[in-house]
Amino acid sequence: MSITIANYYPLFLPYLGGVEHNIYYFAKYSKYKHVVITDLLPNTKLREHVYIDTNKTIQVHRVPPSRILRRGKFYTGLDYALDVSREFLKLIYVLSLQYDIFHLRASWSHPRIYNIIDNMLSKSFFKLCNAWRLNKKPMVATFHSLPELDFPLHDNLAVPNPIPRGIVIRETKSFLSYFSYIANKSKAIIVVDLHMFIYLKSLVKSKPLLHIPSGIDTNIFKPLERKQALKALLDNLSLNEETAHKLESIATSMSTVLYVGRFGYEKGTHIVLELVPKLAEKYGLLIAGHGGVFEKYFKMLDTRMKNIIYLGRVHNNLLQYLYNVGDIVINPVLLHGISRITLEAMACGKPPIMINDSRIRYPLVNGFNGYIAKNISEIPVLVNEILKHEEAYQYISRNALETARKFSVNNLAEVVDATYESIYEENYRILKDVLLKYPYIIYVIRT
């Protein structure tokens, strides 16, 4: 069987984000050819090949960026829209003749930019889907995130409220309308966290719905000797002599706590700032990431505190070494799920710490393969307890490794390929048979 999958993601940025990693990794381990279609990047080539490994590349069709329309004060779905050109719609139609399956990569950031049903200016995205379906080719949708009515209003965590609640509710309702449309057009739906699966289970009546986390490549993310990892970082990071010496000193003389990721309130970066004084007294603290005003604060702390280093944005190819320089990874993200950062830490044998906040953290199990703090103040307590008891640390580390192997893209790609095959052949027995090998994947198939 030969199938070609066209992945559509409008904000495709090579090597930067979680969605891009998801596309790359699943294409790398898929039996089938994958291409990417994207239309919101200016000043790029119309076509290019993006490196995956020495044996496989993924072709990217970059078309001239669609025109973004804006109205209103806040950055929300009701204030932005996408004016897709006729040329792009024609291209989608042509590509539907060449490729077999359209894999839509959807995120709740998309409605902020375009495609809200109740915005009269944003019908373009639905025209795009219809252009693909003119040749009766099937669609698969992966939902990488889902908005929540209570975000960013986490009062118990003292999270600032940058967007009024009314705006959040309007945006959420718009997104749910958007999802309803996509669900109706798709032959199968994949979600990356269990919260989305539970929420959408009642809405998806007659097609496969699968919970498949954004898997990590366990051939890349794996335990390494600390000296080896530290050398790789020092050889490849562009650090001045003083910072390099500071990094080497911290990594070789004390236990180290890591925080990695894109900075933002939804990522819990403000919580990390609050924890710095408590953690940096006793441990080394390595911060890697970028985004907004948080960069300024971390740079200031780096210059004023001897046990903290702000590394800025660390290239994804170096993250495997960064994890292996640390002992514990804190990831106080305020959205559901565990995020790719937690799985990467697990794959390197590093116990992750997340925060409860009434969120679903599957497959993280408190006290088994990581820890879930009840509140902010418990995080330093957990760090102390974990690093104090070597036997408990090794127990968590072993279980974390096993969890990461289960949810590695090396395994999950087989399930996604079976999903493609099932809708292509219109035979869902193919998918059901493959799922028997992976009892920890949660799914429902109603056909």
pLDDT confidence of 146, banded at 50, 70, 90? low
pLDDT confidence of 407, banded at 50, 70, 90? very high
pLDDT confidence of 444, banded at 50, 70, 90? very high
- The reply to whether 221 falls in a domain is no
- The reply to whether 46 falls in a domain is yes
Whether the Cβ atoms of residue 261 and residue 289 lie closer than 8 Å to each other: yes
Pair 25, 156 in one domain: yes
Give the per-residue pLDDT at 190: 93
Pair 143, 43 in one domain: yes
Give the per-residue pLDDT at 110: 45
pTM: 0.86
- Distance CA(260)–CA(30), nearest Å, equals 28
- Distance CA(163)–CA(55), nearest Å, equals 46
- The reply to whether 71 falls in a domain is yes
Pair 118, 198 in one domain: yes
Q: What is the mean pLDDT of the chain?
A: 81
* 8 vs 125, residue with greater confidence: 8
Give the per-residue pLDDT at 182: 76
pLDDT tens sequence across 148-170 = 544 443 433 334 444 455 555 55
pLDDT tens sequence across 194-229 = 888 887 887 777 789 999 988 889 999 999 999 999
Pair 167, 56 in one domain: yes
User: Among 208, 220, 235, which residue's Cα sits nearest to residue 430?
Assistant: 208
Using CA atoms of 380, 383, 386, 387 in order, give the dihedral in degrees to the nearest 10.
-120
- The reply to whether 18 falls in a domain is yes
Locate 132 and state its tokens.
Answer: 């693909």
Give the domain range for residue 111: 4-215+409-444
- The reply to whether 364 falls in a domain is yes
pLDDT confidence of 49, banded at 50, 70, 90? low
Question: In this structure, what CATH number is given to the domain that contains residue 249?
Answer: 3.40.50.2000
- The reply to whether 220 falls in a domain is no
Locate 93 and state its tokens.
Answer: 């139609």
- Distance CA(318)–CA(299), nearest Å, equals 20
DSSP-H helix ranges across 186-309: 194-201, 226-236, 241-253, 269-279, 294-304
Pair 196, 129 in one domain: yes
Question: In this structure, what CATH number is given to the domain that contains residue 59?
Answer: 3.40.50
Q: Check pLDDT > 80 for residue 319.
A: yes
Tokens 């945006």, residue located: 171
Pair 113, 180 in one domain: yes
Pair 257, 166 in one domain: no
Please give the average per-residue pLDDT across 351-372, as a whole number: 89
Concatenated DSSP letters of 102-142: EEEEE-TTHHHHS--TT-TT-THHHHHHHHHHTTT--EEEE
* Alpha-carbon distance values, 203 to 195, 237, 423, 428 (Å): 14, 47, 19, 19
Pair 233, 150 in one domain: no
Domain count, the chain: 2
Q: Is the dihedral of CA 64, 65, 66, 68 positive or negative?
A: negative
User: Which range (135-149, 311-325, 366-380) has the least confidence?
Assistant: 135-149
Give the per-residue pLDDT at 176: 65
Give the per-residue pLDDT at 156: 39
Pair 283, 251 in one domain: yes
Pair 266, 151 in one domain: no
Pair 119, 268 in one domain: no
Pair 171, 306 in one domain: no
